[in-house]
Amino acid sequence: MKIVLEVTFRMGGVSYRGHRWEGDALIFNFERLGDAFIQVLSTMKVEVEVDGTPKRVLVELKTKDGRKVFGAFERSGVYFAAEP
């Protein structure tokens, strides 16, 4: 099954690092490490092929200050998420 995720981040410098399953949740891993980033909204689109249908889609963002996990919602076959 093809999963499309569009994520809006509050700052630039984000890299996609893969995805993983935890139970019935599909988690997309992103990373923003470093000290200075441009303070603009940036959107990233990721498409992956997975086995099965997720009950939840989550985004995990690793930063130098820790990690954030936030959910995505589905609309017309595309999952959308925004960094809180």
Instruction: Please give the model's pTM, rounded to 2 decimal places.
Output: 0.92
Q: Where are the domains of the chain?
A: 2-82
Q: pLDDT by residue (tens digit) across 1-47?
A: 999 999 999 988 899 999 999 999 999 999 998 776 667 889 999 99
Number of H helices, E strands in the chain: 0, 8
pLDDT digits (tens, 9 = 90+) for 59-84: 999 998 899 999 999 999 999 999 99
Helices (H), 1-84: none
